[in-house]
Amino acid sequence: MRRRTPTTSLALALVATLTTASLAGTASAAPAPAAAPAPAVAALAAPDVSLSNIQAHLTQFNSIATSNGGNRRAGSAGYTASVNYVKGKLQAAGYTVTEQNCSTCTYPGNNLIAEWPQGPSDQVVMFGAHLDGVAAGPGINDNASGSSVLLENALVLAAQNPTMTKRVRFAWWNGEEQGLQGSKHYVNQLSSTQRGYIKGYYNFDMVGSPNGGYFINRITSATAAPLKAYWDSFGISPEENTEGQGRSDDYSFANAGIQTSGYAAGASYTKTSAQASKWGGTAGAAYDGCYHRSCDNTSNINTTILNRAADGVAYTIWALAVGGGTPANDFSVSVSPTSGSVARGGSTTATVSTATTSGSAQTVALSASGAPSGVSVSFSPSSVTSGGSSTMTVSASSTATTGTFTLTVTGTGSATRTASYTITVTGGSGGCTGGQLIGNSSFESGTTPWTASSGVITNSSSQAARTGSYKAWLNGYGSSRTDTLSQSVTLPSGCSSYTFSFWLHIDSAETTSSTAYDKLTVQVGSTTLATYSNLNKATGYTQRTFNLAAYAGQTVTLKWTGVEDSSLQTSFVVDDVTLQVG
Question: Are 202 and 261 within 8 A, CB to CB?
Answer: yes
3-class secondary structure for 314-333? HHHHHHHHECCCCCCCEEEE
Question: Are 100 and 186 within 8 A, CB to CB?
Answer: yes
To the nearest 10°, the Cα dihedral for 371, 373, 375, 380?
60
- Based on the number of CB atoms within 10 Å of its own CB, is 56 exposed (0-12), middle (13-18) or buried (19 or more)? middle
- What DSSP element (H or E) covers 410? strand 403-412
Catalytic, 176? Answer yes
Going edge to edge, which strands form the sheet with 167-173? 96-102, 109-115, 167-173, 124-130, 198-204, 260-264, 215-216, 239-240
- Based on the number of CB atoms within 10 Å of its own CB, is 244 exposed (0-12), middle (13-18) or buried (19 or more)? buried
Other C-beta atoms closer than 10 Å to the C-beta of 511 total 7
Q: Write the DSSP assignment of 228-262 as a string of letters.
A: HHHHHTTT---EE--TTTTTSTHHHHHTTT--EEE
- Determine the straight-line distance between the first and last CA of the chain, rounded to whole angstroms: 60
Backbone torsion region of residue 468, taken as left when φ is above 0, otherwise alpha when ψ lies between -120 and 50, otherwise beta: left
Instruction: Classify each residue of 432-454 as buried b or exposed e, where b means 16 or more C-beta atoms within 10 Å of its C-beta.
Output: bbbbbbbebbbbbbeeeebebbe
Of the candidates 175, 163, 139, 436, the residue with the CA atom closest to the CA atom of residue 295: 139
Instruction: Classify each residue of 100-110 as buried b or exposed e, where b means 16 or more C-beta atoms within 10 Å of its C-beta.
Output: bebeebebebb
- What percent helix, strand, coil does the chain show, rounded to 5? 25, 35, 45
AA identity, residue 168: V
Of the candidates 141, 148, 149, 181, the residue with the CA atom closest to the CA atom of residue 82: 148
Residue among 115, 152, 176, 564 flagged as catalytic? 176
AA identity, residue 143: N
Contacts of 291 (CB under 8 A, 6+ apart): 1, 141, 142, 206, 267, 268
Distances (CA, A) of 180 to 105, 124, 247, 250: 9, 21, 8, 9
Cα(45)–Cα(324) distance, integer angstroms: 8
- The catalytic site residues sit at 176
